[in-house]
Amino acid sequence: MASTAAIAALALVFFVLLCVRDGGGVDAADTLSQGQSLGANDMLVSANGTFKVGFFTPAGGDPGKVYLGVMYATSNVQTVMWVANRDAPVRTAAGAASATLTGSGELLVKEGDRVAWRTNASAAGRSNHTLTIRDDGNLVISGSDAAGTDVEWESFHHPTDTFVPGMEIALRQTNGDRTLYTSWRSDADPATGDFTLGLDASAQLYIWRSQGGKNSTYWRSGQWASGNFVGIPWRALYVYGFKLNGDPPPIAGDMSIAFTPFNSSLYRFVLRPNGVETCYMLLGSGDWELVWSQPIIPCHRYNLCGDNAECTADDNNQPICTCFTGFEPKSPQEYNNGNWTQGCVRSVPLTCSSERNNTTAGGAGAGGGDGFTVIRGVKLPDFAVWGSLVGDANSCEKACLGNCSCGAYSYSTGSCLTWGQELVDIFQFQTGTEGAKYDLYVKVPSSLLDKSSGRWKTVVVVVVVVVVVVLLASGLLMWKCRRRIKEKLGIGRKKAQLPLLRPARDAKQDFSGPAQSEHEKSEEGKNCELPLFAFETLATATDNFSISNKLGEGGFGHVYKGRLPGGEEIAVKRLSRSSGQGLEEFKNEVILIAKLQHRNLVRLLGCCIQGEEKILVYEYMPNKSLDAFLFDPERRGLLDWRTRFQIIEGVARGLLYLHRDSRLRVVHRDLKASNILLDRDMNPKISDFGMARIFGGDQNQVNTNRVVGTLGYMSPEYAMEGLFSVRSDVYSFGILILEIITGQKNSSFHHMEGSLNIVGYAWQLWNGDRGQELIDPAIRGTCPAKEALRCVHMALLCVQDHAHDRPDIPYVVLTLGSDSSVLPTPRPPTFTLQCTSSSSGRDMYYRDKEESYSANDLTVTMLQGR
């Protein structure tokens, strides 16, 4: 009964919809033709019913004034996205409101016969104008001429206070165009308010405040670095797909900020009348949920503490202003009374000498010269001068030291940023928070550094010596005791040291021991610092690790699909017990992944260590891995070019996070199609950090005794000499791009085109201007060739033989997203790594110097045919 009624109701709705759509004329709901008018009570509604346009009176506002606006059609409360005549309301007492599209394609808002507002869009020589409200909320006037129909005017280019997907915050240096968002005067009055948000040539967002005819900076986002703003570190925001298009500094050409939500929810960013940028999401119920709001604590106010000072928020978010070391308040009395406008000035002038040119970096020079104090975890100052993307922290320090007008530098964004003498708008993040990853080095005379460290040095030396002696003694004692206990129990110790990760803890762990005391078991559990799952829970969740739940075979064990009692789906990686291997990889993965969180990395939900069982629990990825699509003749068609490009970009962003943003500098070392998982919306997530290693701060290339990875994806220097660096990941990434574009496995290549590998093959075609033949036939017809060829070009840069020729990931991310910058020409590949797996070949590739790793260990690690 119920279902029949439902079907009948559905049919009725469908019928009604059909009638409406076929009605024609003004009833066509979303379009007004030229000559037609919209009355005070008429509405145009977008095709899928999301937006409507018509006259409104703001809630709580003057009922005598009406405005033409674009509104959300499905929200419970009146939600205005755009207002036409915000400063020229129609006064209903003086005349009826109407909106007319003229024969020349101009939209007029009228009060009776008087024109209150007009679009000023002149379209000489065009005809058949229409006004359409689109599904994304854009109100568009188009018209036709001999060449076809084109958009003549659109509301997205004339925003009010709301920023939605499809809009831009743009700055076009070439023609001076700029999209600015201006707040309402109050919630009940859409007139132009005090606050304006826009993008600046430094690729920073600003909110300006105009008060009494004066325009002052109210807030600043901080520099755009590696996919987010230095001053808005909250990752959650970038989850909504914020992107800077165009050429940011150092090029500083045309730029725009856009955001593309990763699901179909409706989001809007509003610059509120109080100057606070806020993001809301429309729920299915028609209510709005607050997603994000710009922090409103005083320290975020632009340069609250004045020049050369940092602002720290106390427990009540009240500002504490402190001059930098080497600076003092310009007017101590005012400053101490809380009037910080004059800021701080140098207490001792810089010597501006280059005596320290040839002393080692970092140490305070002995007498004379200038040095640096470091201020950690800050929103970097305004007015940065961008150096080039190449170089390192040392060359950046040198550049600043050798330049008398340089007052500070920072290399934490991966570029060399320098500042002049005044340092403006510095906010100190709380240590340990997401934002606390940018460090500022402020130049001060070395004499100051010495004074403050002279007495300290002695104290520090004494303390260090005492601590070291105590540690050594206790370590020796513990080691002796432990050995005695072990001997008593008859447990042999396997040499499984993990030099780079937490050596102190490692000493008391021995996961591989066949029998362990209860005490040790609980010790291990604590080390996870993660939700711990009971083995029984996971066994139940995966139906006792049944074959039917198996998702695949990873490097060191099997992966199963599971369902927790609450219904949540999980992926369970159970490390192989029999091989006795993977111990290191396991610990690596747990410690690393727990720390690494990014939308393009697979999230670790927890772990389980019980006896010999070592299990990792991940979020479940319904679409499995990239190779399951790419190399499957049936499913590869599902990956259109847009999706493929999104995957390339997503992987690049994940790598960027691993290489730079995570602060740990993680090299993945086994990047490949089967390690790229896809979520419900086909967003890529990098998985399997088992082989990643943590780099120390300054190391950028490490020689490893163990070569792990997958043939075909390994860079020459890694495969041959065991040298790995972030640039070896770049190489693997280049191979991955080629696979994504060609839809061919790199390992399938030695059967084709003679004995060329994928690199040689791609180079040959690309160099011979036949690059288009590389594109997967499944998408060749529909894919924009220019974009695809640009990716091939980038891939060929990434797979260059010499690590130092390859671009770094920040460069890749920067240039992939902009089509205007010119890519350098890649060098031709000379070395082509063959994918033969003969044992003699292997001996050449791998060195095993350390006896603790058996040869067996190496081969198993190597020969995962994946």
Ligand X SMILES: *[C@@H]1O[C@H](CO)[C@@H](O)[C@H](O)[C@H]1NC(C)=O
- The active-site residue, picked from 247, 670, 776, 808, is 670
Candidate list 354, 395, 701, 772; residue touching ligand X; CB under 6 A = 354
Q: Is 573 annotated as a binding residue?
A: yes
Contact status: 419 vs ligand X (CB under 6 A): yes
Q: Give which of 139, 177, 123, 136 is closest to 54, Cα–Cα.
A: 139
d(CA 785, CA 622): 30
Between 355 and 520, name the residue whose CB sits nearer to ligand X.
355
Selected range binding ligand X among 400-408, 487-495, 575-583, 748-756, rule: CB under 6 A: 400-408
Contact status: 623 vs ligand X (CB under 6 A): no
Contact status: 388 vs ligand X (CB under 6 A): no
- Could you give the angle at which helices 726-742 and 641-656 cross, rounded to 10 degrees? 170
Distances from the Cα of 412 to the Cαs of 220, 245, 528, in angstroms? 19, 22, 29
Smallest separation, CB 507 to ligand X (Å): 41
Between 205 and 798, name the residue whose CB sits nearer to ligand X.
205
Contact status: 418 vs ligand X (CB under 6 A): yes
Contact status: 285 vs ligand X (CB under 6 A): no
Between 184 and 208, name the residue whose CB sits nearer to ligand X.
208
Contact status: 830 vs ligand X (CB under 6 A): no
Contact status: 263 vs ligand X (CB under 6 A): yes
Smallest separation, CB 200 to ligand X (Å): 6
Between 280 and 429, name the residue whose CB sits nearer to ligand X.
280
Between 120 and 839, name the residue whose CB sits nearer to ligand X.
120
Smallest separation, CB 383 to ligand X (Å): 9
Smallest separation, CB 388 to ligand X (Å): 12
Residues in CB range of 243: below 8 A, 6 or more apart: 257, 258, 259, 260, 817
Between 443 and 558, name the residue whose CB sits nearer to ligand X.
443
Which token pair is 809? 């990931």
Contact status: 160 vs ligand X (CB under 6 A): no
Contact status: 357 vs ligand X (CB under 6 A): yes
Contact 396, 380 (CB under 8 A): no
Smallest separation, CB 196 to ligand X (Å): 4
Q: What are phi and psi of 707, to 5 degrees?
A: -100, 120
Contact status: 402 vs ligand X (CB under 6 A): yes
Candidate list 155, 196, 412, 832; residue touching ligand X; CB under 6 A = 196
Which residues on neighbouring strands pair with residue 267, listed in sequence order? 281
Q: Give which of 666, 660, 826, 842 is closest to 738, Cα–Cα.
A: 826
Selected range binding ligand X among 338-346, 369-377, 613-621, 743-751, rule: CB under 6 A: 338-346
Contact status: 339 vs ligand X (CB under 6 A): yes
Candidate list 76, 78, 122, 128; residue touching ligand X; CB under 6 A = 128
Between 415 and 588, name the residue whose CB sits nearer to ligand X.
415
Tell me how many degrees the CA angle 4-5-7 measures, rounded to the nearest 5: 65
Candidate list 3, 4, 120, 522; residue touching ligand X; CB under 6 A = 120
Selected range binding ligand X among 29-37, 75-83, 118-126, 220-228, rule: CB under 6 A: 118-126
Candidate list 208, 292, 438, 731; residue touching ligand X; CB under 6 A = 208
Alpha helices in 716-816 (DSSP H): 716-721, 726-742, 758-767, 777-780, 785-798, 809-816
Smallest separation, CB 50 to ligand X (Å): 4
SS3 content of the chain, % helix, strand, coil (to 5): 30, 25, 45
Candidate list 391, 420, 513, 552; residue touching ligand X; CB under 6 A = 420
Which token pair is 792? 């091939």
Contact 44, 53 (CB under 8 A): yes
Contact status: 215 vs ligand X (CB under 6 A): yes
| Distance in angstroms between the alpha carbons of the first and the last residue of the chain | 54
Contact status: 385 vs ligand X (CB under 6 A): yes
798 burial via Cβ count (<10 Å: 0-12, 13-18, 19+): buried
Between 50 and 162, name the residue whose CB sits nearer to ligand X.
50
Contact 818, 789 (CB under 8 A): no
Q: Catalytic site residue 670?
A: yes
Contact status: 360 vs ligand X (CB under 6 A): no
d(CA 548, CA 540): 14
d(CA 528, CA 513): 18
Strand order in the sheet with 550-554: 550-554, 557-563, 569-575, 613-619, 604-610
d(CA 142, CA 121): 11
d(CA 95, CA 416): 61
Binding residues for ATP: 573
Q: Please give the residue ranges that form the binding site for ligand X (CB under 6 A).
A: 48, 50, 118-120, 127-128, 135-136, 144-145, 180, 196, 208, 215, 263-265, 334, 339, 341-342, 354-355, 357-358, 385, 402-403, 405-406, 418-420
Known catalytic residues? 670
Binding residues: 573
